[in-house]
């Protein structure tokens, strides 16, 4: 993609100093390669745990297997087991994984512009989304060079997804030292954070300034790590994009261990397996075959297992037992289920309101009228945006009861250009190439306005990773959440934005959401 490379002018005749190589990490020595910009050195495909294959399938990650000589860390390791598709609108090529898949997939990648190991740059640890059933550190828009150019040491990781990352079964619980099962993908994240703690200083990073960040299921992972005692001391700040609610995170209510075990037994029965040994001997292709008539136990999702998650994220925050770090979180204008051009009818909207809000439906319909189809479509989006922003504000206000650190919230409003832009708007995940400063990884028709937005929002993210505060020179002021019910609008119109369209709407949502 030559037109993309041109965004990073390179003076080929100049040699830049870089981290001395090879670098000795847990397991052995590695050598990296120059990035697109020769001031950046990238190390790809670094093992952070033993391959979770054979008898290690459905076990917590084990110590990395040492290697001899110098390992060339110049290409991504395999993605974890999942179905690979080229695109799934609105997510085009740059949002999808395209490399090989394997059970041997516990690799991470590091981008750094540090010239020596003593620089102590802030570290940005990114966790991909994908509903806990897909995703990869090799997804193009997750490239770490954009933020490394802004002074961060960037780490992206693979973690197990789907049935190989979250399968739960009584037999697995019994054999476990912690008497739990499931959450293997989350334990992979902890193992990767431990690797960062032990090794990142050799890349010029500061292990005391690690920011965990993720989007969608990655955001849910961030919230779960905030709640997990196993992650204590491994990070100093957190960013959760499209994943924080009053429940504590997208899907973060989680499934209790006993129920998850029952789902696992049903899954094993459907696969014709009488024991975990038989399931471990089964090919991954057989494991991933759809179960006739559906069935549970084969998909990813958080487990309240008593170890990684002793209780839900919301319960952890309420009891003040979280890893208390500054947190930045928010949602997109056309996030999950939202459309720039809704097609709902007046009758359907009113019926939906009565079903959802019961005795409060009349009040809701006065605030969000639906006398005509056009009015209903406007109200559908406006009510969703208000609920989304008020819910995040109430989460932050509730968090403040037990947290000593600050929270910053946002509302992303920029429509990403490209195919079907008018249909999808500021869709789920569309902020990622802007906040990671990776527009160069996409062939969409970006303008100078897009590049300005990317520079601005990625500066907010870089400042937060460095200082626990997104504010910085030349940027519109972003206030931490306080008593005033507002959020930060970022993208097209950066600035303070009320949580709801009116005081009456705010009061309605506060009553409804806190019942």
Q: CA nearest 429: which of 330, 337, 332?
A: 332
Strands 23-25 and 28-31, sheet pairing: antiparallel
CATH 3.40.50.1820 placement within the chain = 1-208+217-325
Strands of 121-127's sheet in order across: 33-34, 41-47, 107-112, 153-157, 121-127, 205-215, 237-241, 327-332, 407-412, 486-490, 495-498
Residues 6+ apart with CB under 8 A from 342: 377, 380, 381
> Helix, strand, or coil here: 460?
helix
Q: Tokens 């080229």, residue? A: 86
Q: Which residues of the chain register pLDDT less than 70?
A: 1-17, 247-252, 293-297
Q: Classify residue 432 by burial, with Cβ atoms within 10 Å: 0-12, 13-18, 19+.
A: buried
DSSP per residue, 371-440: SSHHHHHHHHHHHHHHHHHHHHHHHHHHHTTT-SS-EEEEEE-PPPPSTTHHHHSSBTTTTHHHHTT-GG
Residues 6+ apart with CB under 8 A from 390: 485, 499, 500, 505, 506, 509, 510, 513
Question: What is the pLDDT at residue 1?
Answer: 36
**Each residue's pLDDT tens digit, 175-188:** 999 999 999 999 99
CA 186/CA 161 separation, integer angstroms: 9
Q: Tokens 């860390």, residue? A: 73
Token code pair at residue 188: 């992979």
Question: What is the pLDDT at residue 2?
Answer: 33
CA 299/CA 281 separation, integer angstroms: 19
Question: What is the pLDDT at residue 336?
Answer: 85
**Each residue's pLDDT tens digit, 288-333:** 888 875 556 678 899 999 999 999 999 999 999 999 999 999 999 9
Q: For domain 1-208+217-325, give the fold.
A: Rossmann fold (3.40.50)
Do the Cβ atoms of 214 and 243 come closer than 8 Å? yes
Tell me, letter by letter, the H, E, C secondary structure of 209-221.
EEEEEEECHHHHH
Question: What is the pLDDT at residue 251?
Answer: 52
CA 219/CA 3 separation, integer angstroms: 32
Question: What is the pLDDT at residue 423?
Answer: 95
Question: What is the pLDDT at residue 254?
Answer: 87
CA 450/CA 118 separation, integer angstroms: 35
């Amino acid at each position: 993609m030559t037109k993309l490379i041109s965004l990073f002018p390179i003076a080929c005749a100049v040699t830049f100093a870089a981290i001395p190589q090879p670098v000795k990490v847990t397991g052995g020595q590695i050598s990296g390669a120059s990035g697109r910009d020769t001031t950046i050195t990238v190390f790809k495909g670094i093992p952070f745990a033993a391959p979770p294959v054979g008898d290690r399938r459905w076990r917590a990650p084990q110590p990395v297997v040492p290697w001899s000589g110098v390992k060339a860390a110049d290409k991504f390791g395999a993605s974890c087991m999942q179905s690979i598709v080229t695109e799934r609108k609105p997510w085009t090529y740059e949002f999808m994984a395209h490399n090989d898949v394997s059970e041997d997939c516990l690799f991470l990648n590091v981008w750094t512009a540090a010239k020596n190991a003593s620089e102590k740059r802030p570290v940005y640890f990114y966790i991909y989304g994908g509903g806990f059933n897909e995703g990869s550190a090799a997804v193009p828009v997750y490239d770490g060079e954009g933020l490394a150019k802004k002074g961060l040491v960037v780490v992206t990781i693979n973690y197990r997804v789907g049935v190989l990352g979250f399968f739960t079964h009584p037999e697995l619980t019994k054999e476990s030292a912690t008497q739990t099962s499931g959450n293997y993908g989350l334990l992979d994240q902890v193992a990767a954070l431990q690797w960062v703690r032990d090794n990142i200083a050799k890349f010029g990073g500061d292990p005391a300034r690690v920011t965990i960040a993720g989007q969608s299921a990655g955001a849910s992972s961030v919230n779960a790590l905030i709640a997990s005692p196993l992650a204590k001391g491994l990070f100093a700040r957190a960013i959760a994009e499209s994943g924080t609610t009053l429940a504590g995170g997208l899907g973060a209510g989680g499934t209790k261990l006993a129920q998850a075990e029952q789902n696992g037994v049903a899954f094993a029965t459907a696969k014709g397996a009488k024991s975990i040994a038989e399931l471990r001997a089964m090919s991954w292709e057989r494991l991933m075959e759809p179960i006739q008539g559906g069935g549970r136990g084969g998909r990813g999702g958080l487990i309240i297992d008593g170890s990684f998650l002793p209780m839900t994220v919301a319960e952890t925050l309420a009891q003040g037992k979280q890893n208390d770090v500054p947190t930045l979180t928010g949602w997109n204008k056309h996030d999950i289920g939202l459309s720039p051009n809704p097609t709902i009818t007046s009758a359907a909207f009113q019926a939906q309101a009565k079903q959802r809000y019961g005795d409060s439906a009349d009040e809701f319909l006065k605030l969000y009228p639906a006398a005509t189809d056009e009015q209903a479509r406007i109200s559908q989006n406006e009510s969703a945006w208000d609920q989304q922003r008020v819910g995040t504000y109430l989460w932050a206000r509730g968090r403040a009861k037990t947290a000593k650190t600050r929270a910053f919230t946002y509302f992303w409003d920029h429509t990403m250009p490209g195919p079907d832009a008018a249909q999808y708007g500021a869709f789920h995940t569309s902020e990622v190439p802007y906040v990671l400063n990776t527009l160069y990884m996409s062939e969409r028709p970006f303008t100078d306005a897009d590049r300005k937005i990317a520079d601005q929002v990625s500066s907010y993210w870089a400042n937060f990773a460095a200082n626990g505060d997104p504010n910085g020179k030349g940027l519109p002021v972003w206030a931490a959440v306080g008593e005033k019910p507002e959020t930060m609008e970022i993208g097209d119109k950066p600035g303070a934005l009320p949580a709801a369209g009116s005081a009456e709407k705010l009061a309605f949502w506060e009553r409804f959401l806190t019942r």
